[in-house]
Amino acid sequence: MPQKMGKNDFFLLFALAIIFIIFFTFFYLFEVKEGKSIIVTVNGKEYGKYELATNQSIKIKYNGKVINELQIKDGKASMQSATCPDKLCVKQHEISKKNETIVCLPNKVVVTVVYDDVNNGDNIDAISK
Protein backbone atom coordinates (compact mmCIF):
# COMPACT_ATOMS: atom_id res chain seq x y z
CA MET A 1 0.00 0.00 0.00
CA PRO A 2 1.55 3.39 -1.01
CA GLN A 3 2.41 5.88 1.70
CA LYS A 4 0.75 9.27 1.85
CA MET A 5 2.87 12.39 1.66
CA GLY A 6 3.39 14.11 4.97
CA LYS A 7 4.16 17.70 5.95
CA ASN A 8 7.90 17.16 5.65
CA ASP A 9 7.54 15.77 2.13
CA PHE A 10 5.62 18.85 1.00
CA PHE A 11 8.20 21.09 2.69
CA LEU A 12 11.01 19.28 0.85
CA LEU A 13 9.24 19.61 -2.52
CA PHE A 14 8.56 23.30 -1.86
CA ALA A 15 12.21 23.92 -0.91
CA LEU A 16 13.43 22.10 -4.05
CA ALA A 17 11.05 24.13 -6.22
CA ILE A 18 12.36 27.40 -4.71
CA ILE A 19 15.97 26.31 -5.28
CA PHE A 20 15.10 25.36 -8.87
CA ILE A 21 13.50 28.77 -9.53
CA ILE A 22 16.42 30.66 -7.99
CA PHE A 23 18.94 28.60 -9.96
CA PHE A 24 17.33 29.22 -13.35
CA THR A 25 16.57 32.87 -12.59
CA PHE A 26 20.24 33.41 -11.76
CA PHE A 27 21.39 31.85 -15.02
CA TYR A 28 18.77 33.72 -17.04
CA LEU A 29 19.74 37.09 -15.58
CA PHE A 30 23.49 36.54 -15.83
CA GLU A 31 23.73 34.61 -19.08
CA VAL A 32 26.83 35.47 -21.06
CA LYS A 33 25.94 36.52 -24.57
CA GLU A 34 28.26 36.41 -27.51
CA GLY A 35 28.93 39.93 -28.70
CA LYS A 36 28.11 41.11 -32.19
CA SER A 37 30.52 44.02 -32.46
CA ILE A 38 33.24 46.00 -30.69
CA ILE A 39 33.63 49.65 -29.86
CA VAL A 40 37.14 51.11 -29.82
CA THR A 41 37.79 54.29 -27.84
CA VAL A 42 41.02 56.28 -27.82
CA ASN A 43 41.63 58.88 -25.13
CA GLY A 44 37.99 58.62 -24.05
CA LYS A 45 36.55 59.32 -27.51
CA GLU A 46 34.92 56.77 -29.78
CA TYR A 47 37.36 55.73 -32.50
CA GLY A 48 35.16 53.22 -34.32
CA LYS A 49 32.70 50.33 -34.27
CA TYR A 50 33.51 47.04 -35.96
CA GLU A 51 31.56 43.80 -36.48
CA LEU A 52 33.01 40.65 -34.97
CA ALA A 53 31.62 38.66 -37.91
CA THR A 54 34.04 40.37 -40.32
CA ASN A 55 37.69 39.27 -40.21
CA GLN A 56 39.86 42.39 -40.35
CA SER A 57 42.91 44.15 -39.02
CA ILE A 58 42.43 47.63 -37.58
CA LYS A 59 45.32 50.04 -37.22
CA ILE A 60 44.46 52.41 -34.38
CA LYS A 61 46.03 55.82 -34.95
CA TYR A 62 46.49 58.78 -32.62
CA ASN A 63 48.10 62.04 -33.71
CA GLY A 64 48.89 60.48 -37.08
CA LYS A 65 50.83 57.52 -35.63
CA VAL A 66 49.72 53.89 -35.38
CA ILE A 67 49.68 53.12 -31.65
CA ASN A 68 47.86 49.77 -31.60
CA GLU A 69 46.82 47.11 -34.07
CA LEU A 70 43.66 45.15 -33.37
CA GLN A 71 42.72 41.95 -35.16
CA ILE A 72 39.23 40.50 -35.54
CA LYS A 73 39.31 36.87 -36.59
CA ASP A 74 36.68 34.12 -36.31
CA GLY A 75 34.41 36.30 -34.16
CA LYS A 76 37.09 37.23 -31.63
CA ALA A 77 39.12 40.40 -31.16
CA SER A 78 42.71 40.55 -29.93
CA MET A 79 45.40 43.19 -29.74
CA GLN A 80 48.24 42.22 -32.07
CA SER A 81 50.71 45.03 -31.42
CA ALA A 82 51.13 48.18 -29.34
CA THR A 83 53.69 50.95 -28.98
CA CYS A 84 53.39 50.97 -25.18
CA PRO A 85 56.41 49.71 -23.19
CA ASP A 86 54.75 46.89 -21.22
CA LYS A 87 52.56 45.41 -24.02
CA LEU A 88 50.08 44.04 -21.46
CA CYS A 89 47.21 44.61 -23.89
CA VAL A 90 48.86 42.27 -26.40
CA LYS A 91 49.11 39.59 -23.70
CA GLN A 92 45.38 39.78 -22.85
CA HIS A 93 43.18 36.95 -24.13
CA GLU A 94 40.86 37.24 -27.13
CA ILE A 95 37.48 38.76 -26.41
CA SER A 96 34.08 37.89 -27.89
CA LYS A 97 31.49 38.00 -25.10
CA LYS A 98 29.36 41.01 -24.17
CA ASN A 99 31.18 43.57 -21.95
CA GLU A 100 34.61 41.93 -22.23
CA THR A 101 37.39 44.47 -22.71
CA ILE A 102 40.99 44.91 -23.75
CA VAL A 103 42.66 47.95 -22.24
CA CYS A 104 45.94 49.62 -23.19
CA LEU A 105 46.45 52.17 -20.40
CA PRO A 106 49.59 53.91 -21.72
CA ASN A 107 47.96 54.50 -25.12
CA LYS A 108 44.48 55.13 -23.61
CA VAL A 109 42.87 52.55 -25.92
CA VAL A 110 39.84 50.56 -24.77
CA VAL A 111 38.17 47.84 -26.82
CA THR A 112 34.75 46.68 -25.56
CA VAL A 113 32.49 43.95 -26.90
CA VAL A 114 28.85 44.96 -27.25
CA TYR A 115 25.76 42.97 -28.17
CA ASP A 116 24.38 45.60 -30.56
CA ASP A 117 24.93 45.50 -34.29
CA VAL A 118 27.27 48.13 -35.73
CA ASN A 119 24.65 49.15 -38.29
CA ASN A 120 21.89 49.34 -35.70
CA GLY A 121 22.92 52.78 -34.47
CA ASP A 122 20.56 52.45 -31.51
CA ASN A 123 22.80 51.86 -28.50
CA ILE A 124 20.06 52.67 -25.97
CA ASP A 125 19.81 50.04 -23.28
CA ALA A 126 16.60 48.91 -21.58
CA ILE A 127 17.11 51.29 -18.66
CA SER A 128 17.50 54.34 -20.91
CA LYS A 129 14.26 53.57 -22.78
Flag whether 86 is in a domain. yes
Task: Indicate if 21 and 53 belong to the same structural domain.
Answer: no
Task: Indicate if 55 and 110 belong to the same structural domain.
Answer: yes
Flag whether 27 is in a domain. yes
What's the one-letter identity of residue 94? E
Flag whether 125 is in a domain. no
Task: Indicate if 41 and 103 belong to the same structural domain.
Answer: yes
Domain count of the fold of the chain: 2
In the predicted structure, residue 124 carries a pLDDT above the cut 70:
no
Flag whether 121 is in a domain. no
Find the domain containing 1 and state its range: 1-31
* Mean pLDDT of the chain, nearest integer: 87
In the predicted structure, residue 5 carries a pLDDT above the cut 80:
no
Task: Indicate if 108 and 46 belong to the same structural domain.
Answer: yes
User: How confident is residue 83, by pLDDT bands cut at 50, 70 and 90?
Assistant: very high
State pTM to two decimals. Answer: 0.68
User: How confident is residue 46, by pLDDT bands cut at 50, 70 and 90?
Assistant: very high
How far is it, in rounded angstroms, from Cα 40 to Cα 26?
30
Task: Look at residue 119 in the predicted model and tell me its pLDDT.
Answer: 57
Q: What is the 3-state secondary structure (H, E, C) of 30-83?
A: CCCCECCEEEEEECCEEEEEEECCCCEEEEEEECCEEEEEEEEECCEEEEEEEC
In the predicted structure, residue 104 carries a pLDDT above the cut 90:
yes
In the predicted structure, residue 72 carries a pLDDT above the cut 90:
yes
Flag whether 127 is in a domain. no
Task: Indicate if 24 and 47 belong to the same structural domain.
Answer: no
